[in-house]
Amino acid sequence: MAEMGSKGVTAGKIASNVQKKLTRAQEKVLQKLGKADETKDEQFEQCVQNFNKQLTEGTRLQKDLRTYLASVKAMHEASKKLNECLQEVYEPDWPGRDEANKIAENNDLLWMDYHQKLVDQALLTMDTYLGQFPDIKSRIAKRGRKLVDYDSARHHYESLQTAKKKDEAKIAKPVSLLEKAAPQWCQGKLQAHLVAQTNLLRNQAEEELIKAQKVFEEMNVDLQEELPSLWNSRVGFYVNTFQSIAGLEENFHKEMSKLNQNLNDVLISLEKQHGSNTFTVKAQPSDNAPAKGNKSPSPPDGSPAATPEIRVNHEPEPAGGATPGATLPKSPSQPAEASEVAGGTQPAAGAQEPGETAASEAASSSLPAVVVETFPATVNGTVEGGSGAGRLDLPPGFMFKVQAQHDYTATDTDELQLKAGDVVLVIPFQNPEEQDEGWLMGVKESDWNQHKELEKCRGVFPENFTERVP
């Protein structure tokens, strides 16, 4: 007992707490069974529901804000590493090296400042806002316990009041019996004692009821004022929080845009000085057409379109020309020459068709043994020097024709559905950057002759499913 007393805990206090818990548990059981009525306050219950909803929303907002800050920090680290890479590859003799380094430093400082302001103006405010909820939540729980104590005291007092008449009857019976056996003076004392004991219990119950009611009402009044005020404060808090985030993000992107523009100017000056060495990324031709997006169409194995074609020029070697018999693999992006014959060889010099000009004869006689094929030039939508030169019934920008060697099933809305034998008129892409390697843009000749509308008929198709035709 001495040890318990040293810690501020006494046996009487423990017993009192245990008795309160037992009384509350008994009262709740009676209320659930319907044997005791429960004090209800619908307005307060609505305030409690709003409080729980507000706490849930605030907790979620805090979690998402922390996730946002973690993302900002990750972007900062990624941007820092990217700038470090730029500083490493930027050679000392290149113009604008100091400016690029300064931009990288300002970029790092801008990210740090943005993150810190988000912490100060959003996260700390959020933490302060949520800091008031635990205390109010504990007070709501305590108010619930005091309400149970109040109901218990009320029911106890009411039970004593209801049994008042029964108690008086119990007191009268012994008096009537004692009248025969006890002296007169003893009967009066016994009756007075029983009446006093009953009144004492009733007075104690009344005092406990008044005390429990006072404690409950004090807590209830305070919460009735605080909960609606807290609920209404959420609007202003949300407005201030998201305004701060939006304003900080707007200023950050403005400053970052300036730094990016400065970096772009530095790189432009570098490009001007080393413009002759500019590297241009170009698609490399391949007989096995690579995928368009994630698709990899390929013709059946063993088909002519699946293997590279070797073309040999048998023209006599002119003086000072290349070694006879030199070969060149046919590129899948090159059109078939109009002079190519079914056997895959070119006729010898001097076998040109009648009507060719002397200039063309001179040009053909001076060709080397290795022939490099080129696309026919297009001018104002017509083909110059090709099979479609001067023809107005072909699509604008027509370059050459191809014929489908295999069936191709379209897998997207922008693709052509091909059957073996279909002739396709190849046209250029409106935006060359949209062209995937190994894919061509065209319109089936039958559709063009019928509709004369590119928007409805054109589409892309894999080049390795087709073969160029004269």
Tell me the Ramachandran region of residue 376: left when phi exceeds 0, alpha when psi lies from -120 to 50, beta otherwise: beta
Read off the amino acid at residue 38.
E
User: pLDDT by residue (tens digit) across 324-354?
Assistant: 444 444 444 444 443 343 344 444 444 444 4
User: pLDDT by residue (tens digit) across 8-27?
Assistant: 557 766 766 676 777 777 77
Give the closest residue to 192 by CA, choosing from 175, 179, 205: 175
Q: What is the pLDDT of residue 195?
A: 61
Q: What is the pLDDT of residue 251?
A: 96
The number of residues in the chain equals: 470
Positions in the chain whose pLDDT score sits under 70:
1-9, 12-13, 15-17, 19, 31, 35-37, 163-199, 275-392
Q: What CA–CA distance (Å, rounded) separates 128 from 106? A: 32
> Which residues fall within 8 angstroms of residue 460, CB to CB, at 6 or more apart?
292, 414, 415, 416, 436, 439, 440, 441, 442
Q: What is the pLDDT of residue 347?
A: 43
Q: Is 274 exposed, middle or buried (0-12, 13-18, 19+ CB in 10 A)?
A: exposed
3-class DSSP assignment, residue 193? helix
335 touches 319 (CB < 8 A): no
194: its two tokens: 């029983």
- Domains defined for the chain, CATH in brackets: 27-275 (1.20.1270.60), 290-301+379-470 (2.30.30.40)
Q: What is the pLDDT of residue 185?
A: 55
The runs of H, that is alpha helices, within 274-297 are none
3-class DSSP assignment, residue 459? strand
